[in-house]
A and B are shown apart, each in its own frame.
Chain A
Amino acid sequence: MNRMMLRLYCLFALGLWSAGVVIADDKCLTCHETLGDNPSTLFKHDIHRTKGITCAGCHGGNANSDEMDQAMDKNAGFIGVPKGDQISQVCARCHSNAEKMGQFRASVPAGQLERLEASVHGSLATSGKERIAQCSTCHNAHGIVSVRNPASPVYPLNVVGTCTTCHANAAYMRTYNPSLPVDQLDKYRTSVHGMRNGKGDPKVAECASCHGSHDILSVKDVKSAVYPTNIPSTCSKCHSDAKHMKEYKIPTDQFEKFSKSVHGVALLQKQDISAPACNSCHGNHGAGPPGVSSVSNVCGTCHALNAELFSSSPHKKAFDERKLPECETCHSNHEIIVATNKLLGVTPEAVCSSCHSPSQNVKGYAVAKAMRSLVDSLSTEEQQAIALVREAEQKGMEVTDAEFKLRDAHQARLQSRTTVHSFDEAKLREVVLKGLNATTFASDEAHSALDEYVFRRIGLGIATLIITILAISLYLYIRRLEGRQRLGEKNTPTFPQR
């Protein structure tokens, strides 16, 4: 060979070496290939092989020797086919070692096994001898490729198939958690996420996007990404990312709006898990926005009375005809703020004014006006009654009867807010009247307590007057008496000497 060829060869070898491709040294593979076994066929395309790792890298032994005894020598570290937890231990030898991963210039993070062991899948299997899932359960053993490779079982479009291998198998799931559903896939395929995923969009959510991959925790675990208080931030990982959502042309401000809403404050600040998160209204696996005519039903799963009243009110037909989403039209969907009396009525800030005016939908205009004045009168009366009762209480008067009646007023106020949704003036009037009766009683009681307070002071004044007159006249009487005594006797009486 001439020098030129030698240099070229060296460069080529150097290039191959720097690319980390060392093909010649995997004798295990060469032999097993000729045997025609599946693992070796798969391993040919494995990323580990690309990185220069031989069969011995996982199985141990000597990959340089083509003598079976030497190659599969226990003393050389050969472990045969690893079983159970041993599998994951083998992977972890490198994958849990950040330094080693750095050597191979890997882009995957280290420490997945630790996270897996802490997750639900890290619990013991029914055999009791190994964990439920090993690395190979999802990633396969041979033929492992990057998660970004469409051939990987954990590529976004394939994740669903991988998870449902177990999670759609009712008989298998029964052995672990009989109450866990197994129809997630069916539901998922009805959702926007599922439909797009089925059509080949790798950007939409699949199982791992919400549940995590290695660190999957039970929904009831506070640290889980799908625990109610964490769901809004999990969903907003994509849904608040304008860049990610650009092609889908839906808004990305839901999380922001939700955080300001009553539901958001209850869930995220007060940690009240009975408050709705995204999935409560949109669904979990079958996630999608409720249809225009079903909004009331969705809100009605909690706000049952309001929904029932609304559905039998004239607004139902009117809204459905105009394709107006029922509850959302007045209350908004994500940014639902506290409903005050101001929401009702015919003032500019009231929602009724959007459709009702003196010249348009006139009957409703009158009803809206009347209903607002009813709830306003109840609020005012109740506040006045409470103030009077407080005043009497502060002055030291007994007001337990009045306070007991105020409960009824409080109840009427709460009920009136629900009754508004019937948009029936007569019904509302009935409820408000009950409340006004209670406030009148309480106010009357408070007034008589305050009158008693004044009565006591007036009574004291009169008594003091009487006593003063008596005292003065008594004093004068004494003076007169002693004056007469002094005049009547020549000497003042002497005190008996000791």
Chain B
Amino acid sequence: MPVMENETGQYEKSKRDFLKYILGGSIIAWLAAILYPVFAYLKPPKQGEVEVTSVKAGPVTTFAKDSGTIIRFGNKPVILIRTSSGEFRAFSATCTHLDCTVQFRNDMGLIWCACHNGKYDLTGRNISGPPPRPLDAYRVVIQGEDVFISKNA
């Protein structure tokens, strides 16, 4: 491209500027396109961290004697029982019959499934109704003030 000066000097200059503007602008846009995902990545997501082999159920005092609570363990429900003597036990809350979620019934003193009246005793064994197998047991550990549920080793 021949170098033109004088009148067309401005023409040259403006073309040069135009390209420099595009170049500069697209560099900035590119940096933004790189840095935005990086900064979004660095921000920790709501669920603080992954927890699947062990779950903190909560302080011991939140669980009354002779009660049961459903806790989420990864993507499965677990029922945490505190017996009348204060002992903690945890079982899979998925009924072994047709996968409904069981509940603790302190009027019956056992674990009950609302769907088809299946009953499990407080050791997880299926004692009445359609469930064919006992509930899987989970390990309960009390560390300090908190109750932790983990998979049975």
Q: Which of B56-64, B81-89, B98-106 participates in binding chain A?
A: B98-106
The residues of B that contact A473 with a CB separation of less than 8 Å are 19, 22-23, 26
Q: Which of B19, B99, B115, B130 has the most chain A CB within a 10 Å cutoff? A: B115
Q: How long is the Cα–Cα vector from A480 to B116 in the complex, in angstroms?
A: 80
B75 pairs with A414, CB closer than 8 A: no
A400 within 8 A of B: yes
The residues of B that contact A470 with a CB separation of less than 8 Å are 23, 26-27, 29-30
Q: How long is the Cα–Cα vector from A487 to B20 in the complex, in angstroms?
A: 20
The residues of B that contact A274 with a CB separation of less than 8 Å are 130, 132
- Digit string of B62-76 for contact with A (CB within 8 Å is 1, else 0)? 000000000010111
A469 pairs with B26, CB closer than 8 A: yes
Residues in A415-453 with C-beta less than 8 Å from chain B:
415, 418
B30 pairs with A466, CB closer than 8 A: yes
- Digit string of B1-26 for contact with A (CB within 8 Å is 1, else 0)? 10100000000000010011011001
Closest to A399 in B: B75
Give the distance to chain B from A479, nearest Cβ to Cβ, in Å.
9
Give the distance to chain A from B19, nearest Cβ to Cβ, in Å.
6
A415 pairs with B115, CB closer than 8 A: yes
Report if A304-B115 is in contact (Cβ < 8 Å); known contacts: A462-B33, A469-B22, A473-B19.
no
Report if A408-B101 is in contact (Cβ < 8 Å); known contacts: A415-B115, A418-B116, A466-B33.
yes
B100 pairs with A415, CB closer than 8 A: yes
Q: How long is the Cα–Cα vector from A486 to B20 in the complex, in angstroms?
A: 20
The residues of B that contact A469 with a CB separation of less than 8 Å are 22, 26, 29
Residues in B75-121 with C-beta less than 8 Å from chain A:
75-77, 94, 98-101, 114-117
Give the distance to chain B from A275, nearest Cβ to Cβ, in Å.
10
A42 within 8 A of B: no
- Digit string of A298-323 for contact with B (CB within 8 Å is 1, else 0)? 00001111000000000000000000
A239 within 8 A of B: no
The residues of A that contact B27 with a CB separation of less than 8 Å are 470
B-side residues, CB < 8 A to A, are 1, 3, 16, 19-20, 22-23, 26-27, 29-30, 33, 72, 74-77, 94, 98-101, 114-117, 129-130, 132
**Other A-B pairs, 9, CB within 8 Å; known A408-B101, A415-B115, A477-B19:** A305-B116, A407-B94, A411-B115, A469-B22, A470-B23, A470-B29, A473-B19, A477-B23, A483-B1
A-side residues, CB < 8 A to B, are 274, 302-305, 400-401, 403-404, 407-408, 410-411, 414-415, 418, 462-463, 466-467, 469-470, 473-474, 476-477, 480, 483, 487
> Can you list 11 A-B contacts with CB-CB less than 8 angstroms, sorted by A residue number?
A274-B132, A302-B130, A305-B116, A404-B72, A404-B76, A411-B99, A414-B98, A415-B100, A415-B114, A469-B22, A477-B20
